[in-house]
């Protein structure tokens, strides 16, 4: 019997919106046969780095704060330098997602920070292969990948609404699709 692949989603969410996105990535990854997925808060991950070693794939998620990752997510990144020394996460599949309140909001800066981080660990980054949505006269805000990202999954949450309302379903479905893609990539990469 084939070994089950583990997909860990390591995320930070200050106010719950990025957590909704993280849960959608989890649902997508868990839907793939032969994959077990787990949601891990960045603070918890930083204090138990040995557990992260068990992953075949790690998806990193952070809200965009001031055009980049949050301080809380950066604390996890810095703590992970112990694993960088040993290159323990080398050749694991990696991916990233972010959420912010503005349509652009400089979210690309966050995904770039996450992808460089993964590269430092020698990980294999998997982008989002969905075509950009809502970019033509036929498009709408209900389209998957309405943010038009390729490096990873993006979501946009209304600044004055709670995580029970926003990010919208299109962004949650985009995150779900991305989780599925990462899980399938983990299976293919380790075959």
Ligand X SMILES: Cc1cc2nc3c(=O)[nH]c(=O)nc-3n(C[C@H](O)[C@H](O)[C@H](O)COP(=O)(O)O)c2cc1C
Residue 10 CA to residue 111 CA, distance in Å, equals 14
Q: Is residue 4 near ligand X by the rule CB under 6 A?
A: no
Q: Kindly tell me which residue out of 5, 9, 63, 76 binds ligand X, with binding defined by CB under 6 A.
A: 63
According to the binding rule CB under 6 A, does residue 110 interact with ligand X? no
Spatial distance between the Cα atoms of 161 and 176, rounded to a whole number of angstroms: 22
- Ramachandran angles phi, psi of 73, nearest 5°: -70, -35
Is position 14 an interface residue for ligand X (rule: CB under 6 A)?
Answer: yes
Please report how close the Cβ of residue 14 comes to ligand X at its closest, in angstroms: 3
Closest listed residue to residue 181, CA positions, set 127, 103, 123? 127
Question: Stretches 15-23, 43-51, 86-94, 120-128: which one binds ligand X (CB under 6 A)?
Answer: 15-23
Q: Which two tokens stand for residue 62?
A: 């952070």
3-state secondary structure of 118: helix
**Counting contacts by CB under 6 A, is residue 65 touching ligand X?**
yes
Stretch that binds ligand X, among 48-56, 57-65, 136-144, 171-179 (CB under 6 A): 57-65
Cα 101 from Cα 125, distance rounded (Å)? 25
Stretch that binds ligand X, among 7-15, 34-42, 49-57, 122-130 (CB under 6 A): 7-15
- Write each residue from 153 to 172 as x if it is in contact with ligand X (CB under 6 A), else as -, in one continuous string: ----x-x-------------
Residue (80 or 157) nearer to ligand X, CB: 157
3-state SS track over 45-106: HHHCHHHHCCCCEEEEEEECECCECCHHHHHHHHHCHHHHHHCCCCCCEEEEEEEECCCCCC
Site residues for ligand X per CB under 6 A: 13-18, 63-67, 99-102, 105-106, 157, 159
């Amino acid at each position: 019997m084939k070994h089950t692949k583990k997909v860990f989603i390591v995320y930070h969410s200050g106010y719950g919106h990025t957590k909704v996105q993280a849960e959608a990535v989890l649902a997508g990854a868990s839907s793939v046969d032969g994959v077990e997925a787990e949601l891990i808060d960045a603070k918890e991950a930083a204090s138990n780095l040995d557990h992260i070693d068990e992953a075949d794939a790690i998806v990193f998620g952070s809200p965009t704060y001031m055009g980049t990752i949050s301080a809380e997510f950066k604390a996890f990144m810095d703590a992970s330098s112990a694993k960088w020394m040993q290159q323990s996460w080398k050749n694991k599949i990696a991916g990233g997602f972010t959420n912010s309140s503005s349509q652009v909001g400089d979210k690309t800066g966050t995904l770039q920070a996450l992808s460089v981080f993964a590269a430092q660990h020698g990980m294999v980054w998997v982008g989002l292969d969905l075509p950009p949505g809502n970019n033509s006269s036929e498009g709408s805000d209900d389209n998957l990948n309405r943010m038009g990202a390729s490096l990873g999954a993006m979501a946009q949450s209304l600044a004055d609404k709670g995580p029970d309302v926003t990010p919208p379903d299109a962004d949650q479905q985009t995150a779900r699709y991305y989780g599925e893609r990462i899980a399938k990539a983990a299976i293919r990469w380790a075959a």
